[in-house]
Each structure stands twice: as C-alpha cells, then as structure tokens.
Amino acid sequence: MLLRWAAERLLPLVPLSQEEIGAILELPPNPELGDVAFPCYTLSRQWKRPPAAISEELAIRINEQPTGIRAEAKGPYLNLFFEPLQWVPRLLETILHPDFACSDEGDGRRVVIDLSSPNIAKPFGVGHLRSTMIGNALANLYRASGYDVVTVNHIGDWGTQFGKLMEAYTRWGDEEKLRQEPIRESLRLYVQFHDEAEKDKTLEDDARRWFWKLENGDPEAQRLWQYFVAFSMEEFDRVYARLGVTFDHTLGESFYNDKMGHVVRQLTDLQLLEESDGAQVVRLDEEGMPPCLILKSDGTTIYPTRDLATAIYRKNEMGADKLLYVVGGEQKLHFAQVFAVLKRMGMDWSDRCEHIAFGLMKFGGRKMSTRRGQVVFLDEVLDEAVSKAEAIIAGKNPDLTDRHEVAQAVGIGAVIFGDLKHNRMLEVDFSLDEALRFEGETGPYLQYTAARAHKLLDKCGLIGAEANQGSLEQSADYLSDSAAWECLKTLAAYPDAIRDAVRLGEPSIVARYLLDAAKQFNRFYHQERIITDSEQATRGKLVLVAAVLRVLRSGLSMLGLKSPNQI
C-alpha cells in the first residue's frame, strides 16, 4: 500500500509509468532508511547523470510540497518517510475495510486446481498433506484475487497398481481382515506383492493381465475395483473433514476412460503417434525430452493418456482459463511431456497449464514409500497433534471450557502450518514437537497472538465495533511511535503478500508474512500499555489491535487454519 502511494507521489517527477516505478521501489531493511526507497539507477541511464545527483534533486522537489511524505537523499537512493500523524488514519481505514486484501486481478477468469489426488486402496499418509494443503491455500488465495476457482480431487483409481492389488488379494487376501481394516490390509497386500515380485517376476505379468481385464469390463475385476474405491473414499472423506478441505469435483482417473479414445484418434489423425517396441509414443526430440508414452505394447493406457484427456476436459467442459497441477516435483518430466504434447496437438492454451511442484516430506528423517510399507498415517499424526495440543493448553489455561475443540484447531493447524511455512520446493523433515511450540515460527504462535488480540478487544467491549473516521484520526495521536507505526506498515503489506503468493504459486509467502505481522504486534504489545487510564488512548490503540486481528484471521483462514477466540 505504501509502495503504491509512493509511486503516485513520484509519478509527476520521473519519466516512468506507475507500474515501472512500483517495480523499482524497495522496502528498506531498517526504519532509519525510510519507509520506502527509490533507487535512481534507472533514471541515471536515461538522464545521463549520476544517480546520487538525481536522488538529491528529487528530494528537494518532494520536500518543496507538504504532502506528508519527507524525502532524504542517501547516495543513489531516495528514501521516503511517511508522516505517521497524516498517514495512520488512511492506513487504518484501508486495513479495516471489509474488502481489504481482496482484488479483481483475476477478473473472473477460471482457474482449475488439481490437488490432493490420493490413490485408492492406499493410506492417506503425511506425504499427501503437501498437495492437499498447498492446493487448498492456493485456491483461497486465487479466490481473494478475483479468480473463479474450481478445485478438483483427481483420485488415482485406475492403472496397473490395481492389477497388482487384485493379484495380491486373490493369492493372499483375507476378506474378514479387509472388511475390518481395509486400508491397512490393502497396504499389507500391496507391500507383499512387491516383496514377492522381486523373487517371482511372473507376478508383474499377472498384475498386467488383471488390469487388462479391468479395462475390458471383466465382472470380477470390476467388483473388486468398486469395493476398493468405496472403502477408500469413505476413509479419505473423513480425513478431509478433519483438515477442513472440500472440493468442487472429486473425479477419479476412471472418469476419463471414455475420453481417452478420442485423444488417441486425435494424435493419430495429426500423425503424432509412432511405434516404439510395440508401444505408441509421441516423440519430443525437439523439446529435448524423451518420447511420451501413450499406449503400452498390450494396448492399455497410461498416465499421460489420461492426463491429456483430463486437461482437454477441464478446458472444454469446465471452462478453464488456467490449469494448475499441485503434484510432487518428481513428476516434473511427466507434466512437461503432457504440456508439450498438448502444444503439438494445437492446443494454444497449453502455455496456461502449470505444474505447481513441491519437495518431498519426510517424517523423522524417513522418506515415505508405500511399496515398502513405510507410511505414516496422517490420521495418526493429527490425533497425536490434538492430544499434545490439549495437554499444552490444559497447562496454560486449565479453566478453558471448550478445550477439546480448541485443541483440534491448534493441533491440526500446527500440522498444516508446519508444512506451509516452508518454500514448497524445499524438502520438509516434519517434526510434530517443533510444530506445536507456542513461540517461534509456528501455527500455534499465530493463533495465540490472534487470541490475545481478541481478548484485548473483548475486555473493552469492542468486538465487532466499527471504527468511524473521527476515531481513526484520533488514533493517530497514539499510534505514531515506532512500534505502532512499524506494525501498521506491516499490516498494510498484506495485499502484496497475497499477490506475490499467487504470482509465484507459493503459499509460504503468506505464512512468512503472518509471522512478521505477529512479531510486530507482539513488539507493540510489550512496549506499549494498551489498556490505560485514558479511555481515548485505550480506544485509539485498540483500533490497531482490531486491524491486527482482522489480518491474522484472514491470513490464517487463507492457509486453512482456524482462529480460536481463546487458547
């Protein structure tokens, strides 16, 4: 917000557009260097003058007019200082507006986001958390930016792995065990298949035959498949409810079975298919990539075939202007091939398909592997997080009446934030004890800070109270010191954090921003006596508290966390 106002002040003085000025402006590393800095190197090249001389000239011209912005030349930098008494009311009015941080940048364009996408008959492990919560946060951020968002859970309910599971079940399955613990028993069978297949190579051929039978409508294969799908979806829905995640569409890969034939015919008509060792591929030599496999030698489909049909369906039937795929970084080549084949097919929208990749999540230093049975069930992690959170809360606030509900919000929120605070491309080694700390860079720290702000407002009967222009102007008298002003400046940067998070597909930008905002508020809280003997001073300071609470709650909600009133 300050960057925009600074750009507007500089616009009449320099031969640059407001957008060009905004791209150059910087936030200084410390308050002594101003609130906004304008480096003059670009103007130096245009005006053929030293940047230091330009900054001095601009400082003189800005200081000639009383606009509430003071300029100071510091070498090649023009440092701008906003006068708090004049700008505090404007900042508060903007931050407290109901539409603060919302924009029309998306202009109603539709973005379809593919997220979560667990595989049927496999555990919902901690590894699935990343796609689910990164995708959920991006959906919220895109909505706030004026996009029409459609979320799709692309369930892995098709492919050779079902042939493996069916072969394992017919050989070693126990129907009663499968009925009692369907996910755990399915995992046991899947692991046993891979253990046995290392000794008996014919098992892989048997599994491929089962999948061929499934694709060709064999009744027994269909019955087993439908059973695996039913119990898996029941388990997934229960976990999603705990995470607070919903989808506009839940469509399995099988949904696209009757659409893949059309894709193969299109590729054939365009003469893009070539035979390679009995299989059908699209060569991508010009793109510097290996061939994209479309049909295996036995005529069955594979992931690229289904993802081509999926992308075309989302564009034509769902009306997507942009397609996002929140899928692990190990699938980078796969999506690059799919997008390249779409381009070869003449789909001019292929450049609006984006793979939102992310790094692996480890737990206790261990990489997850379904084939080896090395899976940490997310449900168990959430249970442990809630239990530990409840014990911590009981020690902090033993009289809290709705302690279990608060523990649910704090425990599950800790797990979500413990992931989202990291750059998505980093490998995350998740530590539950670290995530549950109430100080430091954690979800509970943010939730506790928001609860502290709520308590201050509630104590003075100001929950939900609207601030009028007169009270905002009076607040300036009590919010002009450094701690309050720095806090207010940080709150004003919330829309910038959302915009950058959407532009880069990076929810951690908002997570890191919220940590900064909470730290600035806590600095203000500890340096200032907020509830004083003067009602006017108290109310003036509480307007800032209300602004902090609004921003923290909005940001936590964007990331998928709840914000309890008390902790």
- pLDDT 10s digits, 122-147: 888 888 899 999 999 999 999 999 99
- Given a contact cutoff of 8 angstroms between Cβ atoms, the answer to whether 311 and 270 are in contact is no
pLDDT tens profile 480-498: 899 999 999 999 999 999 9
Band of the pLDDT at 300, cuts 50, 70, 90?
confident
366 Rama sector, left if φ>0, alpha if ψ -120 to 50, beta otherwise: beta
Q: Which of 343, 310, 260 is nearest to 152 (CA)?
A: 310
d(CA 355, CA 127): 18
- In angstroms, what CA-CA distances link 263 with 268, 300, 325, 465? 9, 14, 20, 58
Q: Which of 300, 251, 314, 298 is nearest to 120 (CA)?
A: 251
Residue 398 exposed, middle or buried by CB count within 10 Å (0-12, 13-18, 19+): exposed
Provide the percentage of residues in the chain whose pLDDT is more than 70: 97
Is residue 388, in this structure, part of any structural domain at all? no
What is the rounded average pLDDT of the residues 201-227?
90
Domain limits for position 76: 2-82
Strand order in the sheet with 273-276: 273-276, 279-282, 292-295
**DSSP element (H, E) containing 303:** helix 303-316
- Given a contact cutoff of 8 angstroms between Cβ atoms, the answer to whether 94 and 100 are in contact is yes
Is residue 125, in this structure, part of any structural domain at all? no
pLDDT at 301: 77
d(CA 344, CA 346): 5
pLDDT at 455: 94
What CATH code is carried by the domain that includes residue 71? 3.30.1360.70
- Give the list of residues 6+ apart from residue 144 with CB closer than 8 angstroms, or none: 101, 102, 103, 498, 558
pLDDT at 506: 98
The most confident of 73-87, 218-232, 427-441, by mean pLDDT: 73-87
Q: How many domains does the chain have?
A: 2
Ranking 18-27, 296-305, 431-440 by mean pLDDT, the lowest is 296-305
Helices 378-396, 403-420: axis angle to 10 degrees equals 120
Band of the pLDDT at 466, cuts 50, 70, 90?
low
Q: Which amino acid belongs to residue 150? A: V
- Given a contact cutoff of 8 angstroms between Cβ atoms, the answer to whether 524 and 487 are in contact is yes
Question: Higher model confidence: residue 298 or residue 450?
Answer: 450
Pairing state between β 279-282 and 273-276: antiparallel
Question: Higher model confidence: residue 274 or residue 120?
Answer: 274
pLDDT tens profile 8-62: 999 999 999 999 999 999 999 889 999 999 999 999 999 999 999 999 999 999 9
Q: Which of 365, 361, 374 is nearest to 330 (CA)?
A: 361
Is residue 9, in this structure, part of any structural domain at all? yes
Query: Each residue of 274-299: b (16+ CB within 10 Å) or e?
Result: eeeeebbbbebeeeeeeebbbbbeee
pLDDT at 566: 94
Pairing state between β 69-74 and 36-39: unpaired
pLDDT tens profile 304-347: 999 999 999 999 999 999 999 999 999 999 999 999 999 999 99
Band of the pLDDT at 556, cuts 50, 70, 90?
very high
Tokens read off for 12 = 């009449």
pLDDT tens profile 345-356: 999 999 999 999
Is residue 496, in this structure, part of any structural domain at all? no
pLDDT at residue 368 above 60?
no
d(CA 145, CA 87): 25
pLDDT at residue 371 above 50?
no
Final residue before a domain boundary, out of 56, 82, 108:
82
Residue 533 exposed, middle or buried by CB count within 10 Å (0-12, 13-18, 19+): exposed
Q: What is the mean pLDDT of the chain?
A: 92
pLDDT at 190: 86
- Give the list of residues 6+ apart from residue 413 with CB closer than 8 angstroms, or none: 443, 444, 447, 556, 561, 562
Tokens read off for 378 = 């997310």
d(CA 151, CA 130): 15
What is the rounded average pLDDT of the residues 224-241?
91
3-class DSSP state for residue 389? helix
Tokens read off for 353 = 């398909």
Is residue 556, in this structure, part of any structural domain at all? no
pLDDT at 171: 92
pLDDT at 81: 97
Return the biggest CA–CA distance within the chain. Answer: 88
Band of the pLDDT at 375, cuts 50, 70, 90?
confident
Q: Which of 34, 56, 33 is nearest to 44 (CA)?
A: 56
Final residue before a domain boundary, out of 225, 247, 269:
247
- Given a contact cutoff of 8 angstroms between Cβ atoms, the answer to whether 149 and 113 are in contact is yes
pLDDT tens profile 517-527: 999 999 999 99
What's the gap between Cα 203 and its chain centre? 40
φ, ψ for residue 30, nearest 5 deg:
-145, 155
Is residue 367, in this structure, part of any structural domain at all? no
Is residue 221, in this structure, part of any structural domain at all? yes
Q: Which amino acid belongs to residue 439? A: E
d(CA 363, CA 239): 19
Q: Which of 171, 174, 166 is nearest to 207 (CA)?
A: 166
Final residue before a domain boundary, out of 82, 108, 143:
82
Is residue 526, in this structure, part of any structural domain at all? no
φ, ψ for residue 96, nearest 5 deg:
-85, -5
φ, ψ for residue 328, nearest 5 deg:
-55, 150
d(CA 135, CA 131): 6
**DSSP label of 216:** T
